[in-house]
């Protein structure tokens, strides 16, 4: 089989049981099985329904403000002296990140299935804000689960969610971060499954979530591919995106999977450095296992217990990763690398000063690796970096590192 | 006959129902668990469910999450729980022991290694909360080859079609989750449970045990009217949590609760 054939087959995944090779699946307690079967059936029907798609596209255009620009960062590219860097400006979306692409889609599913209440987990708070936003617009009751540590380091987003009418639960169990928020959201869902739609924020969780979150975010890659062809008359040589759960990366990568000439880099959170063990880079340094409804790479100890992660960015502070990424790693279609906190902060400052764009710390992981990659390439080559979110929410964190109270 | 079959047959002959307490292995410390198991049996338990602690017990409520945190903090592990069962078996060769937990630590150890070690320890059944029958094809045959039953859950939301699929995989007993929710949450509706169990009896001959929401003699007795077994967990784990600093008081406190349920069920 040729490489191109293999890559074309990637577009057929997942299989009917939600598997991407050995990864994915539906590992949940029995109470949730029926809700997931129902969701899968609904999604399979609606994703082929022109009326549903038209409503989704209309919301993306008029509410989110799509298409987002593909911006040539000329000055930064010149300073780095390597490949031309193009930024996919998901930071310009309504609510400030790619997360809203998915919450618009899932809120429409909630509406079509008649569920009056939505819940979500959130790390940095971007997904929580995006969920609270669409819930406000559709008049849905909304409750958000957020690790108690994240509530502290992302207080601005917590207040935004409250202004939007959501109830925010600070989760104090376990490591008090994103994984614990997801445990708590699953517990709420199991209890209120009759009237509640769980809006998962990333391409992880039980089938069909990894598939539908990918599909809703694929608008990023479809636009970027078309913009690249229209603006530059060619495809890019490489794509770079940060990976926590991996929804912005999957959204960018998916429409390019068949384009053999396009290299792809997923950048995980290196924390204090992958070599120190204090990081959130399961694809770089974890092992396959089962958590939160799917089989994927996980950060775990010798007894199979999930271990605590470390990252300057709350949105990437997660011990697992979407199962499709796990498969793309194994077959070698995407290269997974890590950027540590120090490199990330430097990239955050650099883009802000050189281009006047303040990126989210999550997105700064992609920038940190992208700048190195650019420097290893020729000026006639092109890189697209997914600027998945804006950095306003991180100002307190960065100021804190600088010893300044804002 | 397996130990589980023998136990249900003996109870049936006496016109009794199975009382099945759950405690988390290693809670509050691994060195106490074996004594607690013997204490539960002495006070009237017919079988034991022993939790294998996991860092992220998504299907459990805060009571069992905290039990997992206590156990892991005190050095508990899956192999440690197997060692506890092996030691328990030296003085109790009759009482069935079912391990309950989540898939990841088992997968990490390797299904075959786990099954071999569990058999050697004297484990009779395993219930993995996040392993539905659709994903169980690689697991059930390995356990079966070691003579270990795989216990599956049935929930109020389980459709008839799913129930049939689950019943086809079932061995040991079926665990009916009486309420929508996590362990230790709501109170149960016995009439509704009875209707669901009647449906399940059309699909399978394995005994039907009911858990979630059973907290005292009255609820245990009510459930034992419609089920073959009564599983009680959070109320005992709560007891352990309250007495974690005075561990010598845990066994008598658990025994008091088990005796109350036993009496009510046998009345």
User: Which residue is closest to B155 within chain A, CA to CA?
Assistant: A31
Token duo for residue A363: 């997105």
**Is there a contact between B237 and B63 (Cβ–Cβ < 8 Å)?**
yes
Best mutation target among A17, A25, A27 (most B Cβ atoms within 10 Å) is A27
Domain count for chain B: 1
Residue B240 has what pLDDT? 98
B119 CA: distance to closest CA in chain A (Å): 19
Q: Which pLDDT belongs to residue B181? A: 76
Please report, for residues A86, A101, A234, A382, the alpha-carbon distance to residue A224 in angstroms, rounded to integers and kept in the order given. 10, 15, 11, 12
Tens-place pLDDT, residues A63-80: 999 999 999 999 999 999
Domain enclosing residue B241, as ranges:
3-266
Domains of chain A: 20-60+99-208 (3.40.50.1100), 62-96+218-402 (3.40.50.1100)
Nearest to A289 by CA among B107, B180, B255, B182: B107
pLDDT of residue A1: 46
ipTM: 0.95
Distance CA A393, CA A399 (A): 11
**pLDDT of the residue at A2:** 61
Nearest CA to CA, how far is B26 from chain A (Å)?
14
Q: What is the mean pLDDT of chain B?
A: 95
Confidence (pTM): 0.96
Query: For the residues B127-137, what does the mean pLDDT come to?
Result: 95
Q: Collect all residues from A whose CB is shorter than 8 A from any CB in B.
A: 17, 25-35, 37, 173-174, 179-180, 182-183, 186-187, 190-194, 287, 289-293, 298, 300, 302-307
Active site includes A155? no
Structure tokens at A350: 């650099």
State the average pLDDT over residues A366-384. Answer: 98
Task: For residue range B202-252, list pLDDT tens digits in order.
Answer: 999 999 999 988 999 999 999 999 999 999 999 999 999 999 999 999 999
Is B56's CB within 8 Å of A191's CB? no
Interatomic CA distance for residues A102 and A113, integer angstroms: 17
Largest CA distance in chain B: 49
Nearest CA in chain B to A306: B55
Spot the catalytic one: B46, B60, B124, B228.
B60
pLDDT digits (tens, 9 = 90+) for A226-261: 999 999 999 999 999 999 999 999 999 999 999 999
Choose, from A99, A179, A329, A393, the residue flagged as catalytic: A99
Kindly tell me the sign of the dihedral angle through the C-alpha atoms of B110, B127, B95, B205.
negative
Give the CATH number for residue B172.
3.20.20.70
Confidence of residue B185 (pLDDT cuts 50, 70, 90): low
């Amino acid at each position: 089989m040729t490489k191109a054939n293999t890559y074309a087959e990637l577009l057929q995944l997942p299989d009917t049981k939600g598997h991407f090779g050995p990864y994915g699946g539906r590992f949940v307690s029995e109470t949730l099985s029926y809700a997931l079967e129902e969701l899968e059936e609904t999604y399979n029907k609606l994703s082929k329904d022109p009326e549903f798609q038209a409503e989704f596209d209309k919301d993306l255009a008029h509410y989110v403000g799509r298409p987002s620009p593909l911006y040539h960062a000329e000055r930064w590219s010149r300073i780095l002296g390597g490949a031309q860097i193009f930024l996919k400006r998901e930071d310009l979306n309504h609510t400030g990140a790619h997360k809203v692409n998915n919450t618009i889609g899932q809120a429409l599913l909630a509406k079509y299935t008649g569920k009056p209440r939505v819940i979500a987990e959130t790390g940095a708070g971007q997904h929580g804000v995006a969920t609270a936003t669409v819930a406000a617009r559709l008049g849905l009751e909304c409750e958000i689960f957020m690790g108690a540590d994240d509530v502290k380091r992302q207080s601005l987003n917590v207040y935004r969610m409250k202004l939007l009418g959501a109830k925010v639960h600070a989760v104090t169990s376990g490591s008090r971060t994103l994984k614990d928020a997801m445990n708590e959201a699953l517990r709420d869902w199991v209890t209120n499954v009759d009237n509640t739609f769980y809006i998962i924020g990333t391409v992880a969780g039980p089938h069909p979530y990894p598939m539908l979150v990918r599909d809703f975010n694929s608008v990023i890659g479809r636009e970027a591919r078309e913009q690249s062809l229209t603006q530059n008359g060619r495809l890019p040589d490489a794509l770079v995106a940060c990976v926590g759960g991996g929804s912005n990366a999957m959204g960018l990568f998916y429409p390019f999977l068949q384009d053999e000439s396009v290299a792809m880099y997923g950048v995980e959170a290196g924390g204090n450095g992958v070599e120190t063990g204090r990081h959130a880079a399961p694809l770089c340094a974890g092992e396959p296992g089962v958590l939160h409804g799917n089989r994927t790479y996980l950060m775990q100890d010798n007894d199979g217990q999930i271990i605590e992660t470390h990252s300057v960015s709350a949105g990437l502070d997660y011990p697992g990763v979407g199962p499709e990424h796990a498969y793309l790693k194994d077959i070698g279609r995407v290269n997974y690398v890590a950027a540590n906190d120090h490199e990330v902060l430097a990239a955050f400052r650099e883009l802000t000063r050189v281009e006047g764009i303040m990126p989210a710390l999550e997105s700064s992981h992609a920038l940190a690796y992208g700048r190195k990659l650019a420097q290893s390439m020729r000026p006639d080559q092109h890189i697209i970096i997914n600027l998945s979110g804006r950095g306003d929410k991180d100002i307190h964190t960065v100021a804190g590192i600088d010893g300044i109270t804002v | 006959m397996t130990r589980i079959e023998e136990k249900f047959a003996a109870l049936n002959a006496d016109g009794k129902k199975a009382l099945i307490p759950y405690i988390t292995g290693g809670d509050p410390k691994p060195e106490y668990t074996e004594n607690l198991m013997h204490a539960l049996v002495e006070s009237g338990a017919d079988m034991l469910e022993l939790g294998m602690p996991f860092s992220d017990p998504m299907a459990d409520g805060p009571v069992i999450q905290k039990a997992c945190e206590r156990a892991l903090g005190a050095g508990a592990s899956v192999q440690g729980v197997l060692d506890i069962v092996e030691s328990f078996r030296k003085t109790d060769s009759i009482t069935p022991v079912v391990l309950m937990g989540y898939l990841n630590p088992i997968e990490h150890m390797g299904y075959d290694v786990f099954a071999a070690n569990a058999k050697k320890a004297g484990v009779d059944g395993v219930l993995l909360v996040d392993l539905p029958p659709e994903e169980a094809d690689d697991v059930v045959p390995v356990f079966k080859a070691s003579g270990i039953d795989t216990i599956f859950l049935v929930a109020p939301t389980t459709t008839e079609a799913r129930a049939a699929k689950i019943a086809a995989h079932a061995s040991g007993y079926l665990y009916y989750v009486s309420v929508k929710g996590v362990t230790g949450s709501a109170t149960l509706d016995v009439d509704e449970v009875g209707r669901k169990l009647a449906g399940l009896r059309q699909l399978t001959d394995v005994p039907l045990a009911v858990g979630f929401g059973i907290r005292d003699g009255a609820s245990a007795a009510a459930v034992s009217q419609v089920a073959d077994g009564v599983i009680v967990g959070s109320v005992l784990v709560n007891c352990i949590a309250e007495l974690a600093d005075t561990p010598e008081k845990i066994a008598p406190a658990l025994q008091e609760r088990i005796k109350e349920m036993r009496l009510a069920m046998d009345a």
